[in-house]
């Protein structure tokens, strides 16, 4: 079977798309109560506030649970949690926080209050 150059280029482009595409991260679920729930690593978008607030975080896993607060530009605003194993606590969410990056090996939740 003889392939034309156009067919080879199309196959190469298709193969390249599979090789360079990033894996799709887990998607956190926003509950009606204002609680974000997920499993594994994720990035969540939070409502932007101009004042600090209290956030409750939980993690059920055996490895690291790390939560960073980021601003609109992705700059670190603060470390919210850094614990190995299960975690349950309340921390201050700095003013200007827009995103939270979560590193986790199990299920987690983040909620205001």
pLDDT digits (tens, 9 = 90+) for 64-84: 999 999 999 999 999 999 999
Closest CA to 68 of 93, 89, 50: 93
CATH class of 25-112: mainly beta
Question: Per-domain residue ranges for the chain?
Answer: 25-112
Residue-level pLDDT at 41:
96
Phi-psi map region of 84: left, alpha, beta (phi>0 left; psi -120 to 50 alpha): beta
Sequence-separated contacts (24+) of 16-22 with Cβ below 8 Å = none
pLDDT at 23 over 80: no
Task: Quote the pTM value.
Answer: 0.72
User: Do 40 and 101 meet the contact criterion of CB atoms below 8 Å apart?
Assistant: no
- Total residue length of the chain: 113
């Amino acid at each position: 079977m003889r392939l034309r150059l156009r067919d080879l280029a199309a196959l190469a482009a298709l193969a390249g798309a599979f090789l360079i595409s990033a894996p799709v991260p887990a998607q956190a679920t926003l509950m009606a109560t204002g609680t974000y729930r997920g499993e594994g690593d994720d990035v969540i978008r939070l409502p932007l506030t101009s004042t600090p607030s209290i956030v409750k975080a939980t993690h059920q896993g055996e490895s690291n649970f790390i939560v960073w607060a980021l601003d609109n530009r992705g700059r670190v605003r603060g470390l919210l949690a850094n614990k190995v194993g299960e975690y349950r606590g309340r921390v201050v969410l700095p003013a200007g926080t827009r995103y939270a990056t979560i590193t986790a090996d199990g299920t987690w939740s983040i909620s205001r209050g």
